[in-house]
Structure formats: structure tokens, C-alpha cells
């Protein structure tokens, strides 16, 4: 399949991942190892950081502010655990979006190498962020097990919810990585956008507490559906909203397809700018 056919093929997004999966895995391992290189605890920091975060959330919101996720609840741990699901989801997309504008700019050598598949850079960034989310998720599952005494069997649906989220992120990163080459201020803007995504999603509050008139706006946030569904399957033991999931999958793939197409169309000008 030549490059032009790849761009127009309806499965181009999946092809960009599967055809270069070994290269992506190699770069993800290198990035993860490089992030902790030279530190005293090394890779163990990936476990320590989320554990400290969850401990601080539990102390501050559970014992100091006495926050409760559900009316009438007396559980000190509940709010921290439920909120942690939202924090992990936000951290995943935030790390990818804030890195996106510099993905191409920060790797000019790859731009000049015709044989290097530049479209893999977003997958590498996503893979690195996903690794840290998975490590933190282990801490989360242990906390849920400690808190509830069991893990809901519906937690097996969590990967299904994450997959379209990753596809959507890939599409956004392709757009931002391309724009970042021509608009260097975009990196500064994404920090603000990341904060808006966090506060305009039910990370620190339940969706039910949002006024009905504002809920459509909150639902437009790509984080909202993912956070709500992850809490449903991993904490409350409920079934996913399958219709909503199918719609989310369709939207995510459309965004990713256009993102990849835009990236491939504009990459011709990367070398001139860099």
C-alpha cells in the first residue's frame, strides 16, 4: 500500500498503529526508561507517584474537607477513589495534548528521514502516557479492593472504554503536532486547554450535580463519557452504556481519520519550516 492509498484508506488509523507496532513499542520502552534514568528509585517512581497522590487525596478530601461523593455517605475513602478515576483519565489526555505541539518540532532529525514514519510519533506519546496510567490503575484497583472488599466483575469492560479514548486522543495529537510546527505558541495554549478539560469534566464532582442546562456542554468534553463509564464499571459494578460507547467509537475514529489525513497532507511543509 503506497503512502497516498494509506492516507485515503478507511483503516488508515489502524494501519498506522499495526504496521509500525514494533517500532512504537521500542520507542515507548526507550522513553519510559529515559524518563527515570539516573533517578535513585528509577522505574519504581511510576508506582510511588500515584500511590502518594491517592494517599494525599484520601487525607485532604476524606479527612480534612470531609468531602462525600454521594449524599449521606460516611466513607472517608470513597471520594478520593472515585475522584482518582477522573484524575487518571485526565492525566492521560493531558500528557498527550501538552506534548503534541512539540512532537515534530522536537524531532527535526526524523522529519528529514524519508523512511521514518512520522505518523507514529503520536502513538509513541500515547503509549508512554498509557504506561503510566496502567501503573496508576494497579494502585487504583488495589484501593478499590481495600475499600469495597472486592472488585466488581464489570471492571473487565474498562479496556473497552479506554480503546476509543486512545483513538480520539491520537486524532487530536495528529492535528496538534502538525499545527505545532507552524504555530509555536500552541504549546503554551495547550496548558490552559488541559486545565479547562479537567474542570469542565466530572473529575472533582459528580455529573448529577451539574445543572441540567449545562450538562450538554459538559458532555461535549471527551473526558466526560470516559470518566463516567470507567467509574460505572470499575467502582459501581454497572454495565457500560453500550449505545453511548458505539457513538463514542464512531466519533473517535472519524476524528482520528481526519487528524491523520491532515497530518499527512501538511507534513510536506515540515522540512521547510524546521
Is residue 274 within 8 Å of 105, Cβ to Cβ?
A: yes
Helices (H), the chain: 3-8, 12-18, 21-35, 45-57, 78-99, 108-111, 121-148, 158-182, 186-199, 215-219, 222-231, 242-266, 270-273
C-alpha cell at 92: 492521560
Q: Give the separation between CA 179 and CA 102, rounded to whole angstroms.
A: 10
Q: Report which DSSP code applies to 238.
A: P
Place of cell 450538562: 215
Do residues 91 and 132 make contact, with C-beta atoms less than 8 angstroms apart? yes
> In whole angstroms, what is the distance from residue 93 CA to residue 143 CA?
23
pLDDT per residue as tens digits for the range 213-238? 999 999 999 999 999 999 999 999 99
The pLDDT tens digits of the residues spanning 60-76 come to: 887 887 777 877 676 77
Query: Which structural domain, as residue segments, surrounds residue 37?
Result: 3-273
Specify the number of domains making up the chain: 1
30 alpha carbon, distance to own chain's centre: 20
pLDDT per residue as tens, the chain (274 positions): 445 555 556 788 999 899 999 999 999 999 888 877 766 666 777 788 888 888 888 888 878 877 778 776 767 788 889 999 999 999 999 999 999 999 999 888 888 766 788 999 999 999 999 999 999 999 999 999 999 999 999 999 999 999 999 999 999 999 999 999 998 889 889 999 999 999 999 999 998 889 999 999 999 999 999 999 999 999 999 999 999 999 999 999 999 999 999 999 998 888 777 6
Sign of the C-alpha dihedral, residues 37, 41, 44, 47? negative
Residue 72: helix, strand or coil by DSSP? coil
Cα–Cα–Cα angle for 172, 176, 178, rounded to 5 degrees: 120
d(CA 230, CA 211): 22
Q: How far apart are CA 8 and CA 47, in angstroms?
A: 41
Amino acid at each position: 500500500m503506497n503512502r497516498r492509498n494509506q492516507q485515503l484508506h478507511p483503516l488508515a488509523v489502524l494501519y498506522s498503529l499495526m504496521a509500525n507496532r514494533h517500532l512504537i513499542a521500542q520507542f515507548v520502552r526507550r522513553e519510559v526508561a529515559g524518563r527515570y534514568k539516573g533517578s535513585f528509585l528509577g522505574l519504581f517512581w511510576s508506582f510511588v507517584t500515584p500511590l502518594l497522590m491517592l494517599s494525599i487525596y484520601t487525607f485532604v478530601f476524606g479527612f480534612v474537607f470531609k468531602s462525600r461523593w454521594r449524599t449521606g455517605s460516611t466513607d472517608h475513602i470513597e471520594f478520593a477513589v472515585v475522584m482518582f478515576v477522573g484524575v487518571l483519565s485526565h492525566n492521560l489526555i493531558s500528557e498527550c495534548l501538552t506534548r503534541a505541539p512539540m512532537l515534530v518540532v522536537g524531532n527535526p532529525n526524523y522529519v528529514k528521514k524519508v523512511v521514518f514514519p512520522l505518523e507514529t510519533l503520536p502513538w509513541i506519546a500515547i503509549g508512554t502516557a498509557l504506561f503510566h496510567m496502567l501503573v496508576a490503575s494497579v494502585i487504583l484497583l488495589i484501593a478499590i479492593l481495600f475499600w469495597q472488599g472486592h472488585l466488581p466483575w464489570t471492571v473487565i469492560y474498562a479496556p473497552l472504554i479506554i480503546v476509543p479514548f486512545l483513538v480520539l486522543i491520537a486524532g487530536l495529537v495528529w492535528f496538534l503536532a502538525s499545527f505545532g510546527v507552524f504555530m509555536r505558541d500552541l504549546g503554551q495554549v495547550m496548558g490552559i486547554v488541559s486545565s479547562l478539560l479537567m474542570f469542565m469534566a466530572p473529575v472533582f464532582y459528580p455529573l448529577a450535580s451539574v445543572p441540567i442546562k449545562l450538562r450538554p456542554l459538559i458532555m461535549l468534553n471527551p473526558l466526560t463519557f470516559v470518566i463516567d463509564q470507567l467509574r460505572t464499571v470499575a467502582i459501581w459494578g454497572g454495565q457500560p452504556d453500550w449505545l453511548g460507547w458505539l457513538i463514542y467509537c464512531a466519533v473517535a475514529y472519524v476524528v482520528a481519520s481526519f487528524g491523520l489525513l491532515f497530518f499527512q497532507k501538511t507534513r510536506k511543509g515540515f522540512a521547510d519550516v524546521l
